Amino acid sequence: MLKKIYNEVTREWDTSVEEALKSFIRLPALSPDFDKKWEENGVLLKALEEAKAWAEKQGIKGLRCEIIKDDGFTPCLFIEVDATSDKKFERSVFFYGHLDKQPPNEGWDPDKSAWEPVIQNGRLYGRGAVDDGYAFYTSLAAVKVLQTLEIPHPRCVGLFETCEESSSRHYESYLKEAEQKLGDIGLVIALDSCCGDYDRLWVTSSLRGMLGGTIEVRTLNVGVHSGEASGIVPESFMIVRRLLDRIEDSRTGEIIPKVFQTKISEEIHKQNVGVAESLGDRIFAAYPWHGKTEPLTKDACEALLNRSWRPELTVTGVDGMPSVENAGNVMRPFTTVKIGMRLPPDVDAEKASAALEEIITAEPPFNADVKYVPTVASNGWSAKASAQWISKAFEKASEAYWGNKPAYMGLGASIPLVKLFSEKWPHAQFMVSGALGPNSNAHGPNESLHIEYCKKQTASVAYLISQYEE
């Protein structure tokens, strides 16, 4: 069965999926945060219309598709496929993915671009290829493959969104609207995650939460001559540094307050030791280091734990500073920084956000005007123990398609909806996975999808569905 599934997936890719993904790449379907005229432009809706039209041409028995849109919010695509299995399952399989994209950004190779698909060295290049346009097309292709091979499958449903890159603002509402159509769910398949290499099936075991906001420090009403003011007026960026020092040890990157930390279990530590042994130095080689820059730690296991189970702080934006070219000898009146903090999977994001605001605004240095405005607080997720049937399916698929056992890895990224799904469907099993591996570079230049890995992952999804149990 496993070989037949892979062969049929390859045929589907070569005859249908690849061209559909190329067409999707050509659409500048920017997420609403990056296109304020998204509704007027209509590109997000067009992405769903193309996906719907493609699905309806596949000859999938029992397929129904519907675009759902509430006023002022980006649309979603609901899909439903009737069961072909004689078993009367009470719960269905649920697919999740998104069809909105990050901006093109700069730095693409001269022979590549965000909006024109290119295949080179076994990769499909273009914005949205791996993050994560392929999720919709391969999920439906997996179901079609099972039907083509006359392999029974349970009822399958899905709700694909166009606001993931903008915090999925209305998805929970859509999920509630579609609640009766979806029914109860026994297996969630979300393909918006990562893989450590392309040599095995990677399954995500945890995702960090996230909080973020802006810190503004204002010391003057207008800028003044630095020669006249320095030594008397406290410099706003100096105060920002002091405030950040309350949170992070700048020598090590360690987050100081205990409220943001968690205890790492022996099981999690053991899991990361195994991943570190499999990947070794490739953990560090995945990043575009400049010059002789060194990582925070050279211990591969500690690096993985830092990325998945420890809080980490990033300054992602700055206001109040002119460019170097335009910077005169002026003491600026204010500095505003945007920060993001990744949280361990089991730390409550709302409580952490309140604690962060209190830490930042308490007793401001020199009585400067300090404001903290929270912008995001989303919880992480940690997978519950897998049922025997799904663990066995992961193992068989990985060994059949890659010749290696599957690997389970916690990720530093956040997919807040996975936490929502686990709360909404507490009995469900999860396959959180993805093709975002080394050199995929989602959000950056030269985003690409590793085609062979995608084929094998699609075959794994099909096999998993065929093995579904309650």
Q: Using the Cα atoms of residue 158, residue 159, residue 165 and residue 169 in order, give the sign of their dihedral.
A: negative
What is residue 287's predicted lDDT score, i.e. its pLDDT?
A: 87
Give buried/exposed letters for 397-429 (b at 16+ CB in 10 A, else e). Answer: bbebbbeeebbbbbbbbbbbbbbbbbebbeebb
User: Is residue 273 situated within a structural domain?
Assistant: no
Q: Which of 352, 378, 404 is the last residue of a domain?
A: 378
414 pLDDT band, cuts 50/70/90, is confident
Name the percent of the chain lying above pLDDT 70: 100
What is residue 286's predicted lDDT score, i.e. its pLDDT?
A: 83
pLDDT in tens, 338-371: 999 999 999 999 999 999 999 999 999 999 999 9
CB distance 370 to 411 below 8 Å: no
pLDDT in tens, 52-76: 999 999 999 999 999 999 999 999 9
| Pair 201, 342 in one domain | no
| Pair 364, 345 in one domain | yes
pLDDT in tens, 233-261: 999 999 999 999 999 999 999 999 999 99
User: Is residue 359 situated within a structural domain?
Assistant: yes
Q: In sequence order, what are the residues at sequence separation of 6 or more whose Cβ sits closer than 8 angstroms to the Cβ of residue 362? A: none
Q: Which of 378, 409, 432 is the last residue of a domain?
A: 378
Tokens of 193: 């995650």
pLDDT over threshold 90, residue 167: no
Q: Which of 378, 397, 427 is the last residue of a domain?
A: 378
Q: Using the Cα atoms of residue 245, residue 240, residue 210 and residue 409 in order, give the sign of their dihedral.
A: negative
| Pair 127, 68 in one domain | yes
Total domains in the chain come to 2
Name the percent of the chain lying above pLDDT 90: 97
User: Is residue 297 situated within a structural domain?
Assistant: no
| Pair 183, 229 in one domain | no
User: Is residue 36 situated within a structural domain?
Assistant: yes
- 250: domain CATH number is 3.30.70.360
CB distance 130 to 448 below 8 Å: yes
Facing residues of 218 across strands?
Answer: 334, 369
User: Is residue 394 situated within a structural domain?
Assistant: yes
Instruction: Using alpha carbons only, give the angle 238, 241, 244 rounded to the nearest 5 degrees.
Output: 155
User: Is residue 269 situated within a structural domain?
Assistant: no
Task: Please give the Cα distance from 33 to 74 (Å, whole number).
Answer: 11
What is residue 117's predicted lDDT score, i.e. its pLDDT?
A: 98
| Pair 219, 348 in one domain | yes
Tokens 């570190």, located at residue: 276
pLDDT in tens, 1-25: 999 999 999 999 999 999 999 999 9
| Pair 106, 152 in one domain | yes
| Pair 358, 455 in one domain | no
What is residue 416's predicted lDDT score, i.e. its pLDDT?
A: 83
pTM score of the predicted model: 0.89
Task: Please give the Cα distance from 156 to 79 (Å, whole number).
Answer: 8
Average pLDDT, the chain: 96
Residue 190's domain spans which residues?
A: 2-207+381-466
| Pair 86, 177 in one domain | yes
| Pair 160, 46 in one domain | yes
- Residue 443: CA count within 13 A, CB half-sphere: 7
Going by DSSP bridges, is the β-strand pair 185-190/429-432 parallel, antiparallel, or unpaired? parallel
pLDDT over threshold 90, residue 413: no
User: Is residue 253 situated within a structural domain?
Assistant: yes
Query: Which of 350, 319, 315 lies closest to 211 in space, CA to CA?
Result: 350
pLDDT in tens, 206-241: 999 999 999 999 999 999 999 999 999 999 999 999
Can you tell me the mean pLDDT for 391-398?
A: 98
- 83: domain CATH number is 3.40.630.10
| Pair 96, 195 in one domain | yes
What is residue 288's predicted lDDT score, i.e. its pLDDT?
A: 86
User: Is residue 289 situated within a structural domain?
Assistant: no
What is the distance in angstroms between the CA of the first residue and the CA of the last residue of the chain? 21
| Pair 29, 155 in one domain | yes
Chain mean position to CA 166? 11
| Pair 203, 213 in one domain | no
